[in-house]
Structure 1
Amino acid sequence: MLITQQMVDELLKKIKKTFPNFIAGVLSDENGFPIASKIPKKLKIDEDFFALAATDVRIANDFMDFSKYTKVVKEIGKKEKIKLLVLLKKSAKYSHKFKQLNEILSKQSLF
């Protein structure tokens, strides 16, 4: 199955709709190469760095202060080891939505 940018954008859009406190998101392969991302320009994070951070969160902590954010890292590939890293603005208000995030990821058929 060929995966298009539009398909990946739809997945990130669903996640953004679930979490109004969504800041940025990236999908990366097991080696940390970016597949797709949604990063606002004002955040000033390099997509390659952000994708690498999805595979090893310690890398992210070495180069950027994430104390204002909640980092969510999920493995979403069935065959391929695709990583999803989502940055959320810290808020306990949406913590109940993580179950919904797991449902979105389990229903996706991209990977």
Structure 2
Amino acid sequence: MSCDRPSKRQKISMENAAYEFHQIQDEVKKITQEIPEKVLTGQSYHASDVHQWTTDISSQCLKELKGVANGSAGFKYIVNCTILQKRNAGYHTNSSCFWDAERDGE
């Protein structure tokens, strides 16, 4: 069985990608700082709430970042949200990403 498969990925020069990221960098930073603050403000740590918080933060960040990506071809966003209790406790994490099969391949 051969693993060779034609790539459907769009090729973008690194110079162009760096220029585009520079244009959206401030907006990306703003989104990834404001959403966790909005979700967690006024909350106290309860292990039973962590899954929902990480899901809310990562999905809301991803949704907003997808809007920033319009016109910024070649960017893929991976959102990783980690919430830890301030003592020797469990570790909870959730990740989310956007994949455009038409542009990024299957």
Fold conserved (TM > 0.5)?
A: no
More helix by share: 2
TM-score, with length taken from structure 2? 0.30
